[in-house]
Amino acid sequence: MTMKSRIEAKLRESLTPDVLNVINESHMHAGPASESHFKVTVVTSDFEGLKLIERHRLINKLLAAELSEIHALGLHTYTKQEWLDKGQQAPSSAQCGGGH
């Protein structure tokens, strides 16, 4: 199972996402690792009433095993209304200075 599949499975199992996008951005970064950098966008009513830090802590806890194996995880966490307010789009990731 790929790291992307593992991340998706764990988040779907523990949350009820309306939107779940897991993007492998390893190609944007230096080094030989093919599964080292990921961007995750989650839209769910499970985040209602949670501060941003609480949302990130929740996901970090759910993905603790995966985080021990990857270098970077960009999180974009929204409630349904926040997602609509953002135009249903997460921000672009920064290009790594050593990327190719």
Q: Which domains can be identified in the chain, with CATH numbers?
A: 3-85 (3.30.300.90)
* Token representation of residue 3: 């790291």
**Is pLDDT at 100 greater than 90 in this prediction?**
no
The DSSP output letter for 80 is H
**Residue 99, pLDDT score:** 47
H or E element, residue 41:
strand 37-44
Residue 38 contacts residue 70 (beta carbons within 8 Å): yes
| pTM, to two decimals | 0.87
Q: Tens digit of pLDDT for each residue in 62-82?
A: 999 999 999 889 999 999 999
Q: What are the pLDDT digits (tens) for 11-49? A: 999 999 999 999 998 777 666 667 888 999 999 999 999
